[in-house]
Every structure is written in structure tokens, then in C-alpha cells.
Amino acid sequence: MNKEISTPFRTKEILAKYGFTFKKSLGQNFLIDSNVLTKIVDQAELTPESGAIEIGPGIGALTEKLAKRSKKVVAFEIDQRLIPILEDMLSPYPHVTIRHSDVLAADVHQVISEEFDEGQDLMVVANLPYYVTTPILMKLLEEKLPVRGIVVMIQKEVAERIAAKPGSKEYGSLSLAVQYHAIARTALTVPKTVFVPKPNVDSAVLHLELREKPPVDLMSESYFFEVIRASFGQRRKTLLNNLQNNLLGKENKPMIEEVLSETGIDGKRRGETLSMEEFAALSNAFYKRKDMN
């Protein structure tokens, strides 16, 4: 019986055996708590028929847990030095495939069609490096992959921003960008003590359930996000000021006021108080006028 990868002793043993040293530039922090790993996998609600996609498997602690619960695991690992370690550690699991590849540069649709059955239940489950959390999440969401959801361990503060509701100080353009594609919630908080090396901040597990269709009807998705980014341009400024300064120009103040009044939104409010529905109404009304000019 092979010993579980995720214990502190076993992790130390594996790192020593291969002379592995952590690369700060890759944001490598390995999880050494079996209970936390089990909780992460529980969140994914995998069945023996499910497929799992992992990003940044490290030495395979989470990969091993996923392998025990699913039909197939495909893991993207950017660090060449980890490939032989993973192949060795995961040799008892022939249904695990390791791809030496940067997920940001990978054609994930292509990988899914090559590695999984059509229509198979798929989940992304990962302990993401902090420095690329947002680009990876946005890529996975914007590419509209055929996955049921995403369960990721990320920096606690970022997880709170993503799952934030209107009116809270964490709520911003990132909350809206993610919640447009998925229903977001923070599933559990994870202390920094269960990682090696220990990061400077606590982490949280974020659960994203992908939406079948967007929660709002838009005339232009890209313009909707432009309006959102402009509205949060300077957080302390009012919505009217931000729309003037960052999107439409001071010369369009009368038109901005007209649209605000038409949509029933007070221009003295701040961006963080607006719901997604209000941003949709605003962006559609501005977009209509843009079309008329």
C-alpha cells in the first residue's frame, strides 16, 4: 500500500529524495494536510464516472485524492522538474495524465476532447498559484469549457472579492466578472500553516457553479464590462463622476444624467452599490445611444 503523499513527513521525504527546491517565481506552496485536501475534493462532488482537471499538481497530493474518486484526472504542470516526481508518485493510478504545459497557453477545449468522453461530468479542482489566480479563472470561465464547476484554493482575500455581494467593500469588477459566468461562494478558509513553504496569507476554497446562461440580457458583453470597469475606476468617486472620467467624457454629462434618470439609478451612488442587473440596464441604455450616434 503506498503511503499518502499529503502528510508533512511524506512531503519532506519526497522533496529530499528528488532534491526539489521551491521556485518563488512559480508561487509553489504544497498542501500538507490530508483533511483539507479531502474537504476540497468533497466540494467537487465527483462520482466514479467524473473527470477532473487539475492545475499545478505539485508533487501530486491533491491529484492522488482526485484519482481515488474519479474516472480520469488530467493535470497541467508548468514546472518540468516536477514531471518525473509526479510520474513516479502517481504510478499506482494509470487513469491520471500529467501534461507538461502552462494552462494559460494551453488549448483546454482540445485537451478535454482528447482526454475525456463527450458529455462526461467534468470539474476543475486545483490549488492555484496566487500570482496567476485571476488570469487562470477568467480563462476557464471565458472559454466556456464543458465543465460543471470549478473548485479552487486561492488567496482568502481574492476569494472574498470574487464571492462578494453589492454594497460590501470587497465587491468590485472582479466579483461581477466571475459572477456573470458562475454562482460563487467561499466554501472554507484554510490557514497558512498547512502549506510548505508557508505563504504570508491565509487561503480559501472557492466554489464556482457554472451558469448555463448569463444572469442578465446584454446588447454587448464587452461594453457591459467596460461600463463596470469605468464605474470602479476611482472607488471613492460617484458613479456619475466615474462614468464621465473613465468612459464617456465630461462633454457627455447631460446624456449620462439622462440615462441614469431613465434607468432609475442615482448618479451620486458609488459603483460598489450597484447590482449586476443595474449595470446591465445602464450598459444597454448607453449602448443604444452609442448605436444611434
**149 is known to lie in a ligand binding site:** no
**3-state class (DSSP) for residue 98:** strand
Of 253, 288, 260, nearest to 274 by C-alpha is 260
Q: Is 242 annotated as a binding residue?
A: no
- Using alpha carbons only, how large is the chain's radius of gyration in Å? 22
Ligand-binding site membership of 56 (annotated): yes
According to DSSP, the residues that pair with 76 across neighbouring strands are 55, 99
| Residue bearing cell 493510478 | 93
Query: Is 127 marked as binding a ligand?
Result: yes
128 annotated binding-site participant: no
Residue type, 90: L
Distance of alpha carbon 14 from alpha carbon 4, whole angstroms: 11
Question: From CA 255, how far away is CA 252, in angstroms rounded?
Answer: 5
**C-alpha grid cell for residue 171?**
465587491
Q: Is 102 annotated as a binding residue?
A: yes
161, 204 contact by CB (below 8 A): no
Q: Residues at the annotated binding site for S-adenosyl-L-methionine?
A: 29, 31, 56, 77, 102, 127
Q: Residues at the annotated binding site?
A: 29, 31, 56, 77, 102, 127
